[in-house]
Copies of this chain bind each other. A is one copy, B any other.
Amino acid sequence: MSKRVTINDVAQAAGVSRQTVSRALNDKGEIDAGTKQRVLDAARELGYRPSRFARGLVRQDTTTIGLVIPDLLNPFFTEVAAGALEAARARGWHVIVYDTADSVDTERGTLEVVASQVDAVVGYFSLDEAELDTHLSGLPAVLIGREHRTPRFSSIRIEGAAGVREAVDHLVAKGHRRIGMLDYAGRAKPNSRRAWFADAMAAHGLADDAVGGAVQSVDGGTEALTSLLTKHPDLTAVFTFNDIIAIGALRAARRLGRTVPDDLAVVGFDGLQLGTVVDPALTSVALDTRRVGALAIEQAGRLLTDSPLLPDEELQVNAVLVIRESA
């Protein structure tokens, strides 16, 4: 790496002082047009580029937020990221996107780095709060889609009980009685979506006995539905942990010769744009993903400026049923 060209080099080349160079480069006025041009020429000549660190040190106004997501290739996270980027841009903030490659180890490493690179962090984390705290060493953080127990963190809550209830209501209204679920296989503890579904089924007095686990991928959904239907061939509808799995389920149904929605109704969760691309278009309990990202940024901003935080009820994003073609 060749030695860095500094403002002093430019000053010397142009035969002026540093401060004059600074003025010329920042359009400060109070400078002779000729001098300015001379400085600009010298700067270009030398390939001078101001150090962002030195600049940041002096003017403390650059806010950078870290956005941590498990997988850039998962459209759900991309949609959330898009919302966050948009909200951040509106405030003139920067966003550094970190992809933890869905691995806990990578997450640890990432957090270590994140902590020294940004002013606040928002996103999806899998570490527990205690460990998160040690890696983050005081960095303001907003957890998405996950409750926080310690006041140390803030979080955006996904509320889907009503939406899932809507979905089951819809299925029941269509005459379905045997409704299964494709849950997420990767998580040890029972998750909210599973519970929401159980509640909704109970409300209709229906048996909630046909539940399979799916890996978080299209292929995972395909495999999971195939084996679920083997065990429970009488199912006429299935609710899935998310749209990715649902899309895999769509494919499995097709391969098994079941027409969707006539022979099997499928309802996903998330309401991804991707769901409009497949055929039949996916009926889904939809989240406003952009809003999720925007809220996280908003709250991070408040954390950063010690402004009053958003109240809990505003930190919640409600899912609603979006009926398309698959159910």
Chain A interface (Cβ < 8 Å from any Cβ of B): 1-2, 4, 44, 47-57, 60, 62, 72-73, 75, 78-79, 81-82, 85-86, 89, 94-97, 99, 101, 113, 115-118, 137-139, 218, 247, 250-251, 254, 273-274, 276-279, 304-306
Contacts and interface: CB of A to CB of B under 8 A. Distances in A.
Contacts of A54: 53, 57
Contact of A96 (B97, B101, B276): B97
Contact of A55 (B85, B116, B251): B116
B97 A95 contact: yes
A113 B51 CA distance: 13
Contact of A97 (B85, B116, B274): B85
A279 B96 CA distance: 35
Nearest to A244: B277
Given A53-B53, A218-B277, A250-B279, 20 more contacts: A1-B305, A44-B137, A47-B138, A48-B138, A50-B116, A52-B116, A52-B118, A53-B56, A72-B78, A72-B81, A72-B82, A78-B78, A85-B99, A86-B99, A86-B101, A94-B113, A95-B96, A96-B97, A274-B277, A278-B279
Contacts of A115: 49
Contacts of A79: 73
A113 B56 CA distance: 13
Contacts of A48: 138
Contacts of A117: 52, 62, 94
A86 B48 CA distance: 30
Nearest to A113: B94
Contacts of A247: 277
Contact of A60 (B4, B73, B89, B305): B4
Nearest to A117: B52
Contacts of A57: 51, 53-54, 57
B78 A44 contact: no
Nearest to A306: B2
A270 B95 CA distance: 28
A116 B251 CA distance: 47
B279 A279 contact: yes
Nearest to A51: B57
Contacts of A137: 44, 49
Nearest to A106: B89
A197 to B, nearest CB: 24
A49 B138 contact: yes
Contacts of A85: 72, 97, 99
A135 B4 CA distance: 20
23 contacts: A1-B306, A48-B138, A49-B115, A49-B138, A52-B53, A52-B56, A52-B116, A52-B118, A53-B53, A53-B54, A62-B117, A72-B85, A73-B79, A82-B99, A85-B99, A86-B99, A94-B117, A96-B97, A97-B97, A218-B277, A274-B274, A274-B277, A277-B278
Nearest to A1: B305
Contacts of A94: 96, 113, 117
A57 B51 CA distance: 8
A42 to B, nearest CB: 13
